[in-house]
Amino acid sequence: MCFLSDSEIKKLISLGRLVITPFEWDQIRENGVDLTIGDEIAIPKVGEKIIDPLDTTTAELFDLYQHVEIPPEGYLLAPGQCILAHTREYIKMPKNVIALANLKSTLARLGFLIPPTVVDAGFEGQIVIELCNMHHYIRLHRGMPFLHLVFARLEDEPEIPYAIRGHYQGQKGVRLANLPLKSYN
């Protein structure tokens, strides 16, 4: 696996192998691309319901989240609050390139966290990320830079492309978990 530089990323975009829409060339950094917050978030409703990832359906999750459009003045995130957010950008990954989604360091320094997230080779859609606020009240705005994607080239294309097996291909907006999970017992 080889990480891609800004010049390699620009080549992929120029050749149409990596598609990012909407896109501005200044989103490309030394070794990646910055992405921004879309217009919708999903806020979990804290409750006593037990979620069993092997026995819960995606439909059951809709009652457990409130989908909210981010207002023009932004959305105020409380300390300890976690939400699902999506990128404004719709991306189409090459068949032999993955991306590692990282939080912009400015937001990390304010106390935000995201779980490790891989954008699979061949993925197409908006990226959905859990964003957790640890310390202060912070206002989130549409179009605010929040993710930095670092790209890496695979030695070979996957045998089974994400487009065939991927659960979130073509997603737009905040999409909840695709349940139930398959058990390997």
Under the banding of pLDDT at 50, 70 and 90, the label for residue 185 is low
Q: Using one digit for the tens of pLDDT, what is the confidence trace for 127-180? A: 999 999 999 999 999 999 999 999 999 999 999 889 888 889 999 999 988 888
Report pTM. 0.92
User: Is 130 among the catalytic positions?
Assistant: yes
Q: What angle do CA 80, 81, 85 make, to 5 degrees?
A: 140
Which region among 4-8, 28-32, 52-56, 101-105 has the lowest average model confidence (pLDDT)? 52-56
Report the DSSP beta bridge partners of residue 149. 33, 101
Domains of the chain by start residue, with CATH: 2-157 (2.70.40.10)
**Percent of the chain having pLDDT more than 70?**
99
Q: What is the C-alpha to C-alpha distance for residues 142 and 156, in angstroms, rounded to an integer? A: 37
Residues 147 and 87: beta-carbon distance below 8 Å: yes
Choosing from 130, 155, 157, 159, the catalytic residue is 130
